[in-house]
Amino acid sequence: MIFKKNKIIFYTIKNSFFSYTLEELKETFSMMPANLPEYWKKIPNKVTDDKIWYQGHRNIKTCSGFINLFKRSMVFRLPFDLHIIFDDKGIVQAHIGTTDVKLAHNFLHLHQNFQFLEFINQPQYKFILKIRPQIFMDSNVPLLCHANTYEFNGCEILPGIISDAYKEELNFFMPILKACKEIHIKKGTPLFMITPLNDQKLSVKFEEREINNKFGKTFSNFKKFVMKEGIK
């Protein structure tokens, strides 16, 4: 019997208009203990206040749900400064790190409301913003991408499952409130988590690759990327 090695490869296209060094890629995807929130260091290993008796003086450091989440997840940290100015119709101006402002459209895309928003009863939102950090991935395990809720940083990220057939561009989606006129997210901000949907040993690698003209055709591969089985 041949056993398949579970692996994820994140890579940059070195001959494209925008690329990362391998070190920058590694800094973008942090794993335990580097993926833990900053406040983790401030939490004592045990509650010492004698007035507190609940659950044997335990705190979140003995919460298996919290530990397992970070142990089995990578945290995506924004690899550039992001500054966007909106009006009620769309993006007025955008800056992606030190990249030429004319290239910002390669990183950002607004989903039209007829694609999603106009069908939900949430009138406080005006756009769904798609962010394309120009990072690609090749994984043979399904991955859950979801908000890094324990950061409490106000960044709302929509969840989704990436199938093990997906070997394309990594992207994520942010709903934008009608009241929002501007967002400014600093480089290194933890935005979302990537959690493999199994408990097997996993190898994560980072690579530089040459450009492949097939990218940008993910929609035509819809049937290929939808998982075959649901819950019965």
**115-163 pLDDT tens trace:** 999 999 999 999 999 999 999 999 999 999 999 999 999 999 999 999 9
Element (H, E) at 65: helix 64-71
pLDDT interval class at 217 (50, 70, 90) = very low
CA dist., res. 127 & res. 206, Å (int): 33
Q: Are residues 126 and 88 in contact, defined by beta-carbon separation less than 8 angstroms?
A: yes
pLDDT of residue 151: 96
Residue 180 confidence (pLDDT) above 90: yes
80 shares a domain with 182: yes
- How many structural domains does the chain have? 2
Range of the domain at 11: 7-31+74-218
Residue 117 and residue 84 share a domain:
yes
Q: Is it the case that residue 216 has pLDDT exceeding 50?
A: no
Tell me if 97 is assigned to some domain: yes
Q: How far is CA 6 from the centre of its chain?
A: 20
Domain boundary among 56, 72, 88: 72
Which range has highest mean pLDDT (11-20, 164-173, 179-188)?
179-188
CATH for 105: 2.70.40
Determine the Cα–Cα distance for residues 147 and 197; give it in Å rounded to an integer. 16
Q: How far apart are CA 152 and CA 191, in angstroms?
A: 10
Domain-located, residue 63: yes
Whole-angstrom Cα Rg for the chain: 20
Rounded Cα gap, residues 16 and 14, in angstroms: 6
* 100 shares a domain with 61: no
The sign of the dihedral angle between the CA atoms of 49, 51, 54, 56 is positive
Phi, psi of 57 (to 5 degrees): 65, 35
Nearest CA to 113 out of 132, 130, 123, 126 is that of 126
Mean pLDDT of the chain: 88
Structure pTM? Answer: 0.87
Residues 201 and 157 both lie in one domain: yes
Residues 203-232 have a mean pLDDT of 68
Do residue 64 and residue 173 come from a single domain?
no
pLDDT band at 45 (very low <50, low <70, confident <90, very high): confident
Half-sphere exposure of 203 (CA within 13 A, CB side): 9
Measured CA distances, 170 to 76, 138, 139 (Å) = 11, 10, 11
Assess contact for 209 and 9: CB atoms under 8 A. no
Choose the weakest-confidence range: 89-103, 109-123, 150-164, 209-223: 209-223
Give the pLDDT confidence score for residue 101 in this predicted structure. Answer: 72
pLDDT surpasses 70 at 219: no
Averaged pLDDT, 6-35: 94
Residue 3, pLDDT above cutoff 60: no
* 193 sits in which H/E element: strand 190-196
Question: What confidence category does residue 213 fall into, taking pLDDT thresholds of 50, 70 and 90?
Answer: low
SS3 152: coil
CA distance 195 to 143: 5
CA proximity to 141, closest of 71, 202, 231, 193: 202
Determine the Cα–Cα distance for residues 164 and 141; give it in Å rounded to an integer. 5
pLDDT in the model for residue 68 = 96
